[in-house]
Amino acid sequence: MLQGKKILITAGPTYEPIDPVRFFGNRSSGKMGFAIAEVLAGYNAEVYLVCGPTNIITHNPSIKLFQVETAQQMFDKSAQLFQNMDAAIFAAAIADYTPEKVSDKKIKKEQTGSDAILIKLVPTKDILSHLGKIKSPEQVLVGFSLETDNELENAKKKLVNKNLDFIVLNSLNDMGAGFSTDTNKITIINRKGEIVKYPLKLKTDVAIDIINYLAANYFS
């Protein structure tokens, strides 16, 4: 069902530079997104993987890998690729904010004149919202929602606001789920409000669940 389908995956964190040495980042390892890419490639889909900074490597040589660093770079590459995709799954933990100004030299303590340094943050471009506005009826757009509270409510809101076809919810309150772990525990919610809950599994098995859901409900 997925053979020959062009599918975009995003994975990993983004790094938002402060100066040539420092950056704002997050704890995403990229494991979930890479697992999804490998499963899709194993199903003979045409996989395009856009990833932020990570030490993970791809194993299937058919995966087309695009490495980026910042949220803006991930936005640009994803927007460029999306127009030719059958589906896109956004598993990356993209920064919501980035420094307004980036110093071209390392910021030193003596420059600040005090023990405190103030950095003004501005919103990054919302990739999912942008793609949700331009996607065709034939395209499938999938997002992830990592939550710490009001999990279902927040995930459903994101699903609607960003015009997603379904969303994958996981919670930092679940033991063994979240960043850097080899396991994950997910709940899938679609536009009809249908909810499917899965037990804690290895991320490789979670990737299979997500792809099987995609195939059965949108490409059958």
Domain ranges of the chain: 6-100+118-218
Query: Does the domain made of 6-100+118-218 have the CATH classification 3.10.310.10?
Result: no
Alpha carbons 147 and 149: distance in angstroms, whole number: 6
Is residue 121 within 8 A of residue 94, CB to CB? The reply is no
Instruction: Give the Cα-Cα-Cα angle 76, 77, 83 (nearest 5 degrees).
Output: 95
- For residue 109, is pLDDT > 90? no
Instruction: Give the Cα-Cα-Cα angle 93, 9, 139 (nearest 5 degrees).
Output: 115
Write out the catalytic residue numbers. 26
Q: What pTM, to 2 d.p., does this model score? A: 0.93
The pLDDT of residue 130 is 97
Residue 164: pLDDT band by 50, 70, 90 thresholds?
A: very high
Task: Give percent of the chain above pLDDT 70.
Answer: 95
- For residue 84, is pLDDT > 60? yes
Distances (CA, A) of 58 to 49, 50, 178: 9, 12, 21
Residue 111: pLDDT band by 50, 70, 90 thresholds?
A: low
Residue 110: pLDDT band by 50, 70, 90 thresholds?
A: low
